[in-house]
């Protein structure tokens, strides 16, 4: 898992919001130029196709990369799969999948559950626990989030950008606000989540243009941003106001608010958010009641990164 470190920012922190924030004005198209839309990826593309870029690199361990592809194919929706199913999902040959599973099984990271179906074993947790224990951002964020959940009775998370997705590295939850429960390690698309909007907004201009040129905007709900132009304008507004609110774009009934977490050098290294039920928490309440708490938590988390 990698953490994108993004553009520098002046040392001055954003001032706390007033009790009644100003109405956000839309930005004109001329203020934000976006790259032309790239062709949609081929429907035949598979995860293993990405390995072709490393062909001929003598230092690249293809066998290790294939094993990681197999590991990442297991999800809460598909916790058990056969060799044939994994072959289709990864794009690897059945023989390659079988060797990966054989090795993972011998090391205790996977095993046969039912008949010919494989599943990951609890030993896999040692890999994620090693990351959490060695990552100062993750270890520092967890107690801050839990304290906020206790005081405000809401769910809070911290995430970083990994490729085109956000990855949760810390989370405290008081209720289930989504159909699929989120946890540390969960991945969501960046373009239609508040944390993703924050992380994208503070990318260097060149990286942002590359992202906008390749992203495919899947409509998860009727409210999902439907064009590159609209997404670009939304990101510009995030930079202008210092926070992002996404209203039911990933799931109907879910509303979220996110703010950036700055490193001591002024770079955005993560984001912290509140997620809650749209009928219960209004946009205005997020701006007036919760935004100051999130900004204070982000500033506190930034101190631990020194």
In angstroms, rounded to a whole number, what is the distance separating the alpha carbons of residues 6 and 100? 35
- pTM higher than 0.75 for the full model? no
**pLDDT number for residue 166:** 94
Q: Are 172 and 145 in contact (CB under 8 A)?
A: yes
In angstroms, rounded to a whole number, what is the distance separating the alpha carbons of residues 135 and 138? 5
DSSP summary character for residue 50: G
Strand partners, 247: 255
In angstroms, rounded to a whole number, what is the distance separating the alpha carbons of residues 78 and 110? 14
Q: Please report the beta strands in the chain, taking only residues with DSSP state E, as ranges in sequence order.
A: 110-114, 117-120, 155-162, 165-172, 187-189, 244-247, 254-262, 268-277
In the block, tokens 């035949």 appear at 44
**pLDDT number for residue 226:** 87
**pLDDT number for residue 46:** 85
Helices (H), 75-192: 83-90, 94-106, 125-134, 136-152
**pLDDT number for residue 128:** 67
Phi, psi of 237, deg, nearest 5: -65, -35
Block mean pLDDT (10 aa), the chain, length 306: 41 43 41 42 72 90 93 88 94 94 93 88 76 68 92 93 91 65 85 97 95 93 94 96 96 95 90 93 95 95 81
């Amino acid at each position: 898992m990698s953490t994108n470190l993004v553009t520098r920012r002046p040392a001055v922190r954003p001032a706390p919001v007033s009790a009644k924030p100003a109405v956000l004005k839309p930005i004109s198209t001329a203020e934000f130029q976006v790259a032309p839309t790239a062709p949609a990826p081929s429907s035949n593309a598979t995860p293993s196709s990405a390995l072709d870029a490393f062909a001929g690199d003598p230092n690249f361990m293809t066998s290790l990369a294939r094993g990681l592809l197999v590991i990442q194919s297991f999800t809460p929706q598909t916790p058990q799969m056969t060799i044939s199913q994994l072959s289709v999902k990864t794009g690897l040959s059945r023989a390659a999948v079988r060797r990966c599973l054989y090795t993972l099984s011998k090391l205790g990271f996977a095993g046969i559950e039912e008949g010919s179906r494989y599943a990951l074993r609890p030993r896999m947790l040692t890999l994620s626990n090693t990351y959490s224990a060695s990552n100062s951002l993750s270890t520092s964020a967890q107690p801050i989030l839990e304290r906020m959940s206790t005081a405000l009775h809401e769910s809070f998370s911290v995430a970083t950008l990994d490729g085109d997705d956000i990855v949760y590295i810390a989370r405290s939850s008081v209720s289930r606000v989504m159909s699929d429960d989120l946890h540390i390690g969960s991945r969501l698309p960046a373009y239609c989540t508040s944390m993703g909007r924050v992380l994208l907004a503070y990318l260097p201009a060149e990286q942002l243009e590359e992202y906008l040129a390749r992203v495919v905007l899947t409509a998860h709900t009727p409210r999902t941003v439907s064009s590159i132009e609209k997404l670009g304008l939304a990101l510009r507004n995030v930079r202008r106001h210092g926070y992002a609110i996404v209203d039911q774009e990933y799931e109907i009934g879910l509303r979220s608010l996110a703010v950036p977490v700055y490193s001591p050098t002024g770079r955005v290294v993560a984001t912290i958010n509140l997620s809650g039920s749209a009928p219960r928490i209004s946009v205005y309440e997020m701006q007036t009641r919760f935004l100051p708490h999130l900004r204070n938590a982000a500033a506190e988390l930034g101190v631990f990164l020194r």
